[in-house]
Structure 1
Amino acid sequence: MKTFVTALMFGAFAISACPAQADPKVPPAQPTQFQEFASTVYDGYRASRLLGSAVFSLKGEYLGAVRNVIVAEEGKIVSLLVEGLRTKEEPEFMSRIPFERVLRPLHEGAIVADFSDLRSREYGLFFDPDQGRDQSHEFSISKVIGDYARLQAGQGYGYVSDLVFDRTGKLAAVVISREASVGGGTYAFPYPGQLGRWSPKLSYYGLPYVTAEQASRAGLRLDMKEFQQS
């Protein structure tokens, strides 16, 4: 990890030391910013690992498995969609658990929630309209993972292979596997939140860069061995 960070910092310094070659639209990344972003990516929660995680009550009762994650536009996890336990009397069912009821830190493959009854009205799949909650500014991670990633000019760049949330449950990075025409490899890009030009309503994930060169300078190339072990 130390070797990776040292190389990354050296590369970022080399870019900032050559202003004549830098694109004015994309400011060179600072070593400290890259180091902090790299730490967040490697130490955060991967969406692909949240999916399928078992959910238990505080008493250790198995409640179900995570099938999807609902995220607000600014990137904060709102709730988990959990497929409830099937019994002899009742079939499986879906519930929506507020993320505020989930204990942190999360552990790989297992999530503990502060309640015991998934079948209560409180944890229905849809919120009560009387609560006045606006769900139009939320999206599920299944709508993003697997999407094509495009640059601002419409050029294809790759596809979204994963998402990374920080320790507070906020979307920190979008992981993109690049296509061969732009060099291949897997890169992590900071999630722009409400400041970005992308909308969950689009059929693709739009990166806030015009050219592949700009995107490559702004992204963090992942060490896949280390990332998959994170």
Structure 2
Amino acid sequence: MFYDQGSRMTIKTGLTAMAAVLSTAAAAPAMADQTQHDIPPLSEWSYNTLYEQGGLHADNLMGAEVFSKGGEEVGSVENILINDQNQIQAIIAQVGGVWDIGDTHILVPWSETTLTEDGVKIPVNEDNADEYGLFSKDSITADALNNTQQVSDNVEAKGGVWKASDLLDDYVSLADGTGYGYLTDILFTTDGNIQSIIVDASESDNVTAGTYAYPFYGYGYGWSPADTSYVLSYDVNDLKNMTPFDDDQYEDQLDD
């Protein structure tokens, strides 16, 4: 994370138990309640490292073109799987069309992907596509895979793995429950670590409208992929010195 050494604000949160979702698996043990964690104050948060590192927008990665090792365009990225360490674990891609197998959805570990100027290169071809099927990996399961929308809605994660779409487009509120805005994007380093979330703040008496980047705190800080909104662990006073995020200074490897 991008913090200087300094004081820490401490919060206590109750964690929601996560259950394994494989159809044949039993429920996973509940996470400990009232786990105490330290959240650095926003005075220690800076955009400078984001601007210096650059990386990836989830919004660009989801929908990016997918290429075979030979450089043949074979599909596109449909979703991103992220583990409980806030790292990309895999991508879900829709591939086929040019292959005799027809359109199908596959799961490719992030460690087996290569980012290029044009999109994402994967080691999948017509002959080995069945080795990357959604049901051939331990990370996810699905109720149905009839179309792209169902992939987004029905693919469920297990063992602390969640989908980028579980967080994107969530409403955002502050620690005191005040409505704040809309979570529009996630920033990753090129090796797959979450750098930040992007929030479009709505104008109010105490909030200046604009686009802001905030540190992301996931498991262990009260957040669950099942939540329908995201709570920033700050109040209005903490946001007074925040300046809008300048996306033009952030170099995305997948930008045209």
Q: TM-score, normalised by structure 1?
A: 0.74
From 44, 49, 58, give the equivalent of 1:47.
58
Aligned ranges 1:93-132 → 2 under 5 Å: 93-103=104-114, 106-117=115-126, 120-128=129-137
Asked if 1:85 corresponds to 2:108, the answer is: no
* Structure 2 residue aligned with 1:10: none
Measured at CA, do residues 37 and 110 of structure 1 come closer, stay the same or move farther in structure 2, by a change above 3 Å? closer
Letter aligned with residue 124 of structure 1: G
Q: TM-score, normalised by structure 2?
A: 0.67
For residues 124 and 49 of structure 1, the distance between their equivalents in structure 2, rounded to whole angstroms, comes to 23
From 144, 165, 173, give the equivalent of 1:142.
165
Q: Which one has the bigger helix percentage?
A: 1
Measured at CA, do residues 220 and 190 of structure 1 come closer, stay the same or move farther in structure 2, by a change above 3 Å? farther
Letter aligned with residue 237 of structure 2: E
> How far did 1:151 drift?
1.4
For residues 202 and 251 of structure 2, the distance between their equivalents in structure 1, rounded to whole angstroms, comes to 20
- Residues 114-152 of structure 1 show CA distances to partners (whole Å, capped at 9, x for unaligned) of 3434753321113456xxxx8241111122111101112
Asked if 1:214 corresponds to 2:227, the answer is: no
SS in 1 for 2:81: strand
Asked if 1:202 corresponds to 2:202, the answer is: no
* Structure 2 residue aligned with 1:164: 187
Tell me which moved more, 87-96 or 58-67.
87-96
> How far did 1:84 drift?
0.9
> How far did 1:90 drift?
4.1
> How far did 1:27 drift?
4.0
Letter aligned with residue 69 of structure 2: L
Measured at CA, do residues 84 and 145 of structure 1 come closer, stay the same or move farther in structure 2, by a change above 3 Å? same
Letter aligned with residue 135 of structure 2: F
For residues 65 and 118 of structure 1, the distance between their equivalents in structure 2, rounded to whole angstroms, comes to 18
From 59, 64, 74, give the equivalent of 2:70.
59
Query: Any runs of at least 4 consecutive aligned residues in structure 1 with deviations exceeding 3 A, and if so which?
Result: 23-28, 87-91, 117-121, 224-230
Measured at CA, do residues 29 and 66 of structure 1 come closer, stay the same or move farther in structure 2, by a change above 3 Å? same
Instruction: Provide the alpha-carbon RMSD of the alignment.
Output: 3.3
Letter aligned with residue 119 of structure 2: A
For residues 195 and 146 of structure 1, the distance between their equivalents in structure 2, rounded to whole angstroms, comes to 21
> How far did 1:224 drift?
4.1
Gaps of 5+ in 2: 1-5, 12-39, 139-156
